[in-house]
Structure 1
Amino acid sequence: MTMRGILKALAVLVVLGGAAAGSVFFGLFERSVVTRAVDQPLSADEMKRLAARGAYIATAADCYACHTAKDGAPWAGGLPFETPFGTIYATNISPHREMGIGNWTRAEFHRAVRDGVGRGGVHLYPAMPYASYRLMTEADVDAVYAYLMTREPMAVPNGPNGLGFPFNIRQSLTFWNLVNLSAKTDIAVAGRSALWNRGRYVVDALGHCGECHTPRNLMQGMEPSAYLRGAVIEGVEAPDITKPGLIAMGFDPVSLARFMKTGLSAQGSMTNQMFEVVHFSTQYMSDDDLKAMSAYLFDLDTVPDTATPPPPPAPAEVPQAVASAGRATYLNLCAGCHGSAGEGIPHVAVPMATNASLRLVNARNFLHTTLNGIPAQSFPGLERMQPMPGFADKLDDRAVADLANWMRARWGGRAPDVTPEAVAAMRHRGH
């Protein structure tokens, strides 16, 4: 979620909507999908039975990652989301009765998760992906509620958000919700296989993949016409994960499911936000659900048992001077780990010859990595991968541009379109 854009949109909505009109007026526009059935509390036996499944649903929905600060207490919130207008902190969702959600009813929890309205009618900022969680079934929301109530209560107070006027007027989110929240919650498609429909539910509801991989409209809601076609999040590209986009990156259904499980493949390694997704969520997902995700993203009703990667792109032409300079830099700084032919070293450095980032239309992610490096990372079932150093202090803008153009042309089939000015801009932004 691009929080800066959301907050800009809220500023407009506050002016247009007249947020000072009061909560009664705004309440006329609320559109809830929560049914009256959840007004009935769950019994102790039901809570116990649901909690085990809730552990899995909460993991698939990646709840822990956002609601646990680095080195903080589990589920106690405090993770900061920095914006140009101030800081928003994730909230405590442990079952502490005063500082967490221990006093929340079943219905209050449902409304927060699926409508984006917390206890007492307090609107949540859509950094919480309730636009996607809205598609979750009542049974799955119940399961997460039951599971969270089994966690250890954490006496960690929720810190105040550092947002000034008018961004601190939560009630104005009523209008954002009215425009950007779907009234449809049953996303199953008749005529498609159970595998495909399960994949759609995992991708669109639990995994909320569209929140990062779909560009935003003027109000910073997900743009339906460009669903999953990629977006820029904090200076890094969340790539196009439609079927054509995945094929362009070198994936097939089998290798994609494996990549989501391990975070490491011939196409590269998960970095930035996606490393955390694997670390906290997808590595623990069942093979059946990962297979279903692949089926949906590749628009298949069945998935083959063996991988069949698409052929590599043909190399693009590069001016001789660019090729000579880029190749020399690669051999001097990169080949020791990634191999002179881009073959990589298992458990040390990923290959370049099949690397997905070199095949993306935009060089943003490659430049980010080249300038800033990658910290050491541990992947499921594998040894710890060594860190990659950044070269911002070793290479000037022209050298980075030549390196990018040569590597992207040789192994990504991309025309040499990276300029020193583009490198300088990314270097100036710090990402």
Structure 2
Amino acid sequence: MKGFAAAFSIFALYLAWHAAHDREASPADELPVAAALAQGASEVGAAGASAASTPMLASAASVPNGASPSGAVSGAAAAGTAGPSGGSGQEAAAVASTDDGTADLVKRGEYLARAGDCIACHTADKSRPFAGGLPIGTPFGTLYTPNITPDPETGIGRWTDADFLRAMQQGIGKGGEHLYPAFPYAEYTRITERDVLAIRAYLNTLAPIRYTPPRNDLSFPFNQRWLMFFWNLFNFHEGRFVPDPKQSPQWNRGAYLVEGLAHCEECHTPRNFMQGLKSSDRFSGAVQAGWRAFNITPDRAGGIGNWSDEDIVRYLGTGAVPGRANAAGPMADVVADSTQYLTPEDLRSIAAYLHSVRPVVGGQTRPRDQWGSPADDVKRLRGTRVTSVDGAQLFVANCASCHNWTGQGIGASSPLAYPSLIHNSVVGAPDSDNLAMVILHGVNRHTKEADVMMPAFGNELDDDQIAAIANYVTKHFGNPKATVTADDVGKLRQRQQ
């Protein structure tokens, strides 16, 4: 044991030495904060202008008026160091220009914060947006998200830009502590410095909320943050996104969003035993809090290979593609809080990138949205005395008023339609977990197109009844091999949401 401890200590010292002496040089398109504050307005503005040719930084889809965060920082610095001008028009113009630049920077930061869906994890109580406190269940215990409002005592009001950059790109907190990877710094490390500073500028405009979230509840030894050093060795590779010159600007923009800011892998990629992402199965699907995030690779049977670019754009923009899918659970929140606000150009870029990734075959031979036919069990039930738990009777009593007793839905493809259960990706999935979760918790999706609400039946029906409905639905309208037991429903009911 002593020999092992000595060897481990030597290894740890080597890693520390290696980290200190072999740092990667900053990419050429990055502009350090210190340089931005030290240089004159013209120098930094020129640097920002030269970087604007990089598609993922200055896409008209996400950069209002071509604003550059670095340029806005330099403008503020120049205004602060300018000599007296006796109230000249030049000084007034400089101040007005700075105000315009700051407004554009904040507007851009708001868009980027939407793309990153910051509000989803950092809001537990909607009356306290961005104040944190949301519990996140992990195999090692419960984490509570921090307050990221500019409150100086309980939020990030005393953080410098350098502190914020280090947290986003390196996973290191203000006090030098390692952050837990429930905060997706493994993806945020790819975000450019300009975009990080724009997000920071937007967060600075929020109303400060004095609120201290609960302490994390992690078991030993997982409550020892220094152990994250070893997790990072195997699961974290710091570095900004580098465009692929062989690909189109649209593809690069999509890659920048999917791999970085939108952090799609966090839900759609399975994890290894250390809870890091399994890079060999990227985007092939995973389970989060009882909900399955489906395969989004271009595999035609198990993934979205039979979806068009417009299908993906419509799904991310509205949460519904008639005849294919309807967002529920965490994905409904993603649509409501994030992707519905992205420009059509950015959504098409995401679609182009997803259609280019390596397909991962999940063992399915038939697409999830190609199952089902209308049912007529209502005829069988007429005049029949039901003495046990009967899926058909429960479906007609609880579901048919919206989904029709045939399962074909009501309202066709209109924004407020009740969706068909036939050709529905949740009903045609190889397991019934998501279907059971929808019955348990309902659907609550608010978009610019429509407010969609399905009531939760978790308090109205017991586990046997929910299992009976789910099995009836998959048997008649979906994949008949997908079954669920009352015990399965009971376990799903206990999952923290």
Structure 1 letter corresponding to 2:424:
N
- 1:262 maps onto 2:318 in alignment: yes
The CA distance in 1 between the partners of 2:487 and 2:203, in whole Å, is 49
Structure 1 letter corresponding to 2:309:
P
Counterpart of 2:236 (choices 175, 178, 181) is 181
- 1:367 maps onto 2:427 in alignment: no
Structure 1 letter corresponding to 2:350:
M
What per-residue deviation string (whole Å, max 9, x for no partner) do you get for residues 385-418 of structure 1? Answer: 3433426754663x65565445335443453554
- 2:371·2:479 contact (CA, 8 Å) conserved in 1? yes
How far is 1:77 from its partner? 2.2
- 1:134·1:185 contact (CA, 8 Å) conserved in 2? yes
The CA distance in 2 between the partners of 1:334 and 1:295, in whole Å, is 37
Provide the residue aligned with 2:146 in structure 1: 91
Counterpart of 2:269 (choices 197, 200, 214) is 214
Counterpart of 2:351 (choices 294, 300, 311) is 294
Provide the residue aligned with 2:481 in structure 1: 415
Change (3 A) 1:20 1:151: farther
- 1:210·1:227 contact (CA, 8 Å) conserved in 2? yes
How far is 1:421 from its partner? 5.4
- 1:224 maps onto 2:279 in alignment: yes
- 1:263·1:270 contact (CA, 8 Å) conserved in 2? yes
Structure 2: runs of 5+ lacking an equivalent: 38-72, 77-97, 358-366, 382-389
How far is 1:153 from its partner? 2.8
Change (3 A) 1:273 1:143: same
- 1:213·1:228 contact (CA, 8 Å) conserved in 2? yes
The CA distance in 2 between the partners of 1:117 and 1:73, in whole Å, is 25
Structure 1: runs of 5+ lacking an equivalent: 1-14, 301-309
How far is 1:64 from its partner? 1.8
Provide the residue aligned with 2:408 in structure 1: 343
Please state whether the residue corresponding to 1:173 is helix, strand or coil. Answer: helix
- Root mean square deviation of aligned Cα: 3.7
The CA distance in 1 between the partners of 2:232 and 2:6, in whole Å, is 13
- 2:432·2:482 contact (CA, 8 Å) conserved in 1? no
Provide the residue aligned with 2:256 in structure 1: 201
Q: Which has the higher contact order (CA 8 A, sep 6+)?
A: 1
Q: How many residues align?
A: 399
Counterpart of 2:187 (choices 132, 137, 140) is 132
Please state whether the residue corresponding to 2:427 is helix, strand or coil. Answer: helix
Structure 1 letter corresponding to 2:446:
S
The CA distance in 2 between the partners of 1:427 and 1:99, in whole Å, is 33
The CA distance in 2 between the partners of 1:113 and 1:430, in whole Å, is 26
- 1:378 maps onto 2:446 in alignment: yes
How far is 1:97 from its partner? 3.0
How far is 1:377 from its partner? 4.0
Which structure: larger Rg? 2
Provide the residue aligned with 1:38 in structure 2: 33
Counterpart of 2:454 (choices 366, 387, 410) is 387
Change (3 A) 1:422 1:343: same
- 1:315·1:410 contact (CA, 8 Å) conserved in 2? yes
The CA distance in 1 between the partners of 2:489 and 2:368, in whole Å, is 30
Change (3 A) 1:427 1:50: closer
- 1:65 maps onto 2:136 in alignment: no
The CA distance in 1 between the partners of 2:144 and 2:482, in whole Å, is 42
Provide the residue aligned with 1:352 in structure 2: 421
Structure 2 letter corresponding to 1:217:
N
Change (3 A) 1:16 1:292: farther
Please state whether the residue corresponding to 1:357 is helix, strand or coil. Answer: coil
How far is 1:108 from its partner? 1.6
How far is 1:348 from its partner? 5.2
Structure 2 letter corresponding to 1:380:
K
- 2:430·2:482 contact (CA, 8 Å) conserved in 1? no
Change (3 A) 1:122 1:16: farther
Please state whether the residue corresponding to 2:110 is helix, strand or coil. Answer: helix
- 1:377·1:387 contact (CA, 8 Å) conserved in 2? no
- 1:34·1:115 contact (CA, 8 Å) conserved in 2? no
- 2:371·2:424 contact (CA, 8 Å) conserved in 1? no
Structure 2 letter corresponding to 1:260:
L
Structure 1 letter corresponding to 2:352:
A
- 1:80·1:90 contact (CA, 8 Å) conserved in 2? yes
The CA distance in 2 between the partners of 1:297 and 1:104, in whole Å, is 36
Please state whether the residue corresponding to 1:232 is helix, strand or coil. Answer: strand
TM-score, structure 2 as length reference = 0.70
How far is 1:50 from its partner? 2.5
Q: Percent identity?
A: 36
Counterpart of 2:370 (choices 310, 313, 327) is 313
How far is 1:89 from its partner? 2.2
- 1:230·1:237 contact (CA, 8 Å) conserved in 2? yes
TM-score, structure 1 as length reference = 0.79
Structure 1 letter corresponding to 2:421:
M
Deviates more, 1:128-137 or 1:95-104: 95-104
How far is 1:330 from its partner? 3.5
The CA distance in 2 between the partners of 1:16 and 1:296, in whole Å, is 46
How far is 1:221 from its partner? 0.5
Instruction: Please list, as runs of the form range in 1=range in 2, the aligned pairs for 1:235-246 lying within 5 A after superposition.
Output: 235-244=290-299, 245-246=302-303
Please state whether the residue corresponding to 1:278 is helix, strand or coil. Answer: helix
The CA distance in 1 between the partners of 2:132 and 2:277, in whole Å, is 25
What per-residue deviation string (whole Å, max 9, x for no partner) do you get for residues 37-61 of structure 1? Answer: 2344444246555222111111101
Change (3 A) 1:17 1:373: farther
Provide the residue aligned with 2:57 in structure 1: none
- 2:368·2:429 contact (CA, 8 Å) conserved in 1? no
Change (3 A) 1:281 1:24: farther
Provide the residue aligned with 1:11 in structure 2: none
The CA distance in 1 between the partners of 2:481 and 2:407, in whole Å, is 19
Counterpart of 1:78 (choices 133, 157, 161) is 133
The CA distance in 2 between the partners of 1:100 and 1:171, in whole Å, is 23
Provide the residue aligned with 2:308 in structure 1: 252
